[in-house]
Each structure stands twice: as C-alpha cells, then as structure tokens.
Amino acid sequence: MLPTQRLLKRQLKRFLGEDFCIPTEWQSFIAAVDSAYADYEADRELTERSTELSSRELMEANSDLLQSREMFRLMAESTNAIPFTVDLTLGCFPYIGAKGITDSGFAESAWKEPNALDVIFPRDTNGDIRQHFDECKIGPFEFVTALSQRDHHTEVRWTGTCEMVAGTKYLRGLMLDITELRRLARELAAAQKLESVGRLAAGVAHEINTPVQFVSDNVQFVRTSMTDIAAVINAYRKVQHACGSAGDVAAAVQVAADAEKAADLDYIMEQAPRALDGSMEGLGRIATIVRSMKEFAHPDQKEKAQADLNQAIRSTLVIAHNEYKFVAEIDTQFEELPPVPCYLGEINQVVLNLLVNASHAISDLVKDTGRLGKITVRTRLDAEHVEISVEDTGAGIPEAVRDKLFEPFFTTKEVGRGTGQGLAIARSVIVKKHGGTLHFETECGKGTTFFIRLPIEAS
C-alpha cells in the first residue's frame, strides 16, 4: 500500500471511527487520489528544480550583462567617447557617461532632471544639436554638430539608435569630441593639396617657360629688325634730300638699295607680323596658364558656392598638362551643366588626383615606347546629379587590390610617387562633404574609369 493510501485511510478512521470499514468500491477512488498526489509531488519537484536552474541561469546572465556593460563603459571611455541615453519626452538624460559629467561641469543630477536639455544644450547656442534630436527618426543615426558649453566650443560626432519605448522617444549612443581629428584632417587635406601643387610646379613653370621663350625670341627679332629698318629709312631720307641736287640722286638711290639689301627688308616685312602674332599667342598662353592656376587654387570656402564645373575641369586640365602631355592624348566631352553647389577648390583637387592617377597608369603601360594612351574626361547631367568621369587606357586595377583602393595610405606606386592619400581624401570630399558618390569600373588590360556624382541641389 502506498503512503498516500495509508494516510488517507487513517484520516477516514480518525473522523469516522476505528471500527469503520472502508467499502470495497472506495478502493479505486483512494487509488486515484493517491495517483493524483504522486503526480503533484513529481510536478512540484520538477518545478522546484526548474526554478532553481532558471534562477541560476538568470544570475549568470545578469552577471554576464554586468560584465558586458562594464566592458562597454571601459571601451567607450578608453576612446574618449561618452555613452548617453536621451529621453526626448522628458528632455533629460537617464544615463550619461562619467566623461560627459566631467567635461560639461554639470552634476549627474542636473543631466537627469526633466528639461535638462534646455539647461545643458540650450536652443539659442546649440540649435543644430536640438534640431537633429527633434528630427531623428526611428533607427540608427549619425551626425556631426558644433557644441557650445560655457565658452567651450567643440565639434562632436553623435552616433547610435533612436527607438520608441512605451510611447517615449529615446536616443541611445555615443558622442565623441572630434575637434582635434577634424583639425588634423584639414591639415592633411591641405598638405595633400600642397603636395600636388608642388609636384605640378615644375610642370607649370615649363609650360610657362615655353611661350615665354618664343615671345622673347620674337621680340629679339623685331628689336634687331628695327635697327636694320632704321638704316633703310635713313638711306631713303638721303634720297629724298638728294633730290634737291640732280647730281647726287643716283648715288643716293644706290645707297638706299644697298641698305635695303643688307637689311633683307622683304624678309623683315614678311616675318615681323608673324613674330608679333606669335608673341601675342605666347602671351595669351601665359595668361591662360596663370588664370587656370588661379582658378585651380580657389581658396577653401566655409560654405558651398555655385560653380561652373566644366570651366573648373578645363582649368585643371591646363594645370595638369605637363603630367599627361608625354603619355596621353586628352579627349573632353562636356555636356551643358547647371551651376553646382560645391567647395570648388576641393573638387579641383579631386579631379587633379584622378588625372594624375590616369597619367601614371598610362605611363606604366606605354613606358618608353613613344606610344600615347588616351584620357577621356566627360561631364553629363543625370537627373538630379551631375556626373564627371575620368577614363584612362592604362593596364587596369588588379582584382587583389580593388577593395583597398580607397583606404588611407594604400598605394600601388613606388616610393616617392604616391602617398596613398589621394583617393582616400577624394572619397571623403565627394561622399562626406558633398553627399555624392565616387566609384570606379576597371578591366585589366583595357583601363579604368572613375565616376564622380554630385547632387545639383545643396544638401
């Protein structure tokens, strides 16, 4: 007999008397009750074991979570990033990293009070930040703003996610002071531009020297010719004077004829206009080079300005002429374009880098064969964008290095010929500063084409 059955029978006799005889028909009922108690006991033990196991797993998971949070905090603080959570409904920071509290000078409690945003990031001094917060949509976000706090001005990158929880809009992520990084980036870009200008300086000097030389030669020819012409004119004046006395006419005429022959007057009269025309052409060429240099070295702007990209590319082609003239012919195919809002000096720099790279690619292929490759520069209007393409007939880009092409300091050129910064800076200028795209198509043995796409409307 099972313990549950014995207990049940004792309880029946206790309440009904020791002489009570349990009817036979109750036996099956007592057995069913006993079975139910047994099932209950088994379920209870299983539940207790499951609860104990779940509690242990929960504690382990909680410990892992705490470790992960601590690891995240240490990683964020080691990079000087400040983790944060913004409650946009209450306008406060439920969580802010220790560095944010230290740098701002506001106590942690001040960050967590309702409407703390109006105290720490007031709209009148940090309107850009507040606008980004207000307009942030659900999902990941990233933006860069100026930050003004207590006479301290910095540039900050905000990155994270925006989410809705129980009707409340939260921003969670990191803010990172990039003031120094931006300064170094500007210095690097300036150094890259100076390097390009320095590399082209000798070529520009040569380009100017050629027309200057033939202007000088032509002016020297005209100057020498003027002495000879003066001798002829003086001789003819003697003829005129001699006409007053018939006896001296024949001799004066002979002197004039000899002077004209000595001066080769016919040659002078034929070549002097050509020399002057050549001088004018040379001076025009110099003016074009100087004007192109001025347009290429367009000073950096704080704001985008409307620009004629076709004219900008023409100027850059003039500046880069010495880079490609011995290795490639230039084919320009320019469509009519509307003015494009851009930082023109930086666009000139990008186009120059692509032209120099195209020249080097062709030079590596043709080497000293005397053959010329071809560089084709096109512009076209494509819906809401303009597209600039620079195509070369070089050897193409090997597949093994294509994924690394835009990485900083990566270059396939020998030492002294490339720094690996040109394409990295070009992508930063086109993608980050102009909201455009920069990509390439290449085929080994046939060449490479780089495509720049810029939006027509200012972003």
How many Å apart are CA 350 and CA 438, to the nearest integer? 10
> CA of 120: how far to CAs of 100, 111, 152, 371, in Å?
11, 8, 12, 67
pTM for the full model? 0.49
Asked if 317 contacts 289 with a C-beta cutoff of 8 angstroms, the reply is no
Q: In this structure, which amino acid lies at residue 140?
A: P
The predicted pLDDT at position 203 comes to 63
**HSE value, Cβ hemisphere, 13 Å, CA-based, for 114:** 2
What is the rounded distance in angstroms from the CA atom of residue 289 to the CA atom of residue 432? 31
| Burial of residue 218, with CB atoms counted within 10 A of its CB: 0-12 exposed, 13-18 middle, 19 or more buried | buried
Residue 140 is encoded by which pair of tokens? 């990941």
d(CA 422, CA 353): 6
163: which strand partners? 170
* Sequence-distant (≥ 6) Cβ neighbours of residue 378 within 8 angstroms: 332, 333, 334, 335, 387, 388, 389, 391
User: What CATH number should be reported for the domain whose range is 79-177?
Assistant: 3.30.450.20
What DSSP designation does 105 have? -
Structure tokens at 370: 């005397």
Measured between alpha carbons, how far is 2 from 9 in angstroms, rounded to an integer? 11
Q: Of all helices (H) and strands (E), which one includes residue 120?
A: helix 116-120
The DSSP call for residue 143 is E
The fold of 298-459 is: Heat Shock Protein 90 (3.30.565)
Distance CA(272)–CA(334), nearest Å, equals 38
Question: How many other CB atoms are there within 10 angstroms of residue 106's CB atom?
Answer: 19
Position of tokens 């002016």? 219
The residues spanned by each domain of the chain are 3-72, 79-177, 200-297, 298-459
pLDDT of residue 452: 94
CA-angle at 381, arms to 378 and 387, nearest 5°: 50
Dihedral, CA of residue 235, residue 237, residue 238 and residue 244, to nearest 10: 150
One-letter amino acid of 401:
V
Q: What is the pLDDT along the chain (459 residues), one digit of tens a residue?
A: 555 556 666 666 666 666 666 666 666 766 776 676 666 667 777 777 777 766 676 676 666 666 766 665 666 556 678 888 899 989 999 988 888 888 788 888 899 999 989 888 888 888 888 888 988 889 999 888 888 776 677 888 888 899 988 888 999 888 888 877 777 766 666 666 656 665 666 566 666 767 777 677 777 777 777 777 777 777 776 766 666 555 566 776 777 777 777 777 777 777 777 777 777 776 767 776 666 666 665 555 667 889 899 988 998 888 788 788 889 999 999 999 999 998 888 888 889 889 988 998 898 888 877 789 999 999 999 889 999 999 999 989 888 888 888 776 566 655 445 555 678 888 888 988 888 999 999 998 899 999 999 999 866
Task: Take residue 243 and report the two structure tokens written for it.
Answer: 């006409």
Q: What is the CB neighbour count within 10 angstroms for residue 56? A: 10
Q: Which pLDDT score is estimated for 449? A: 94
Find where tokens 């929960």 sit: 58
Tokens matching residue 232: 């002829």
Q: b/e per residue, 266-294, with b = 16+ CB within 10 A?
A: eebeebbeebeebbeebeebbeebeebbe
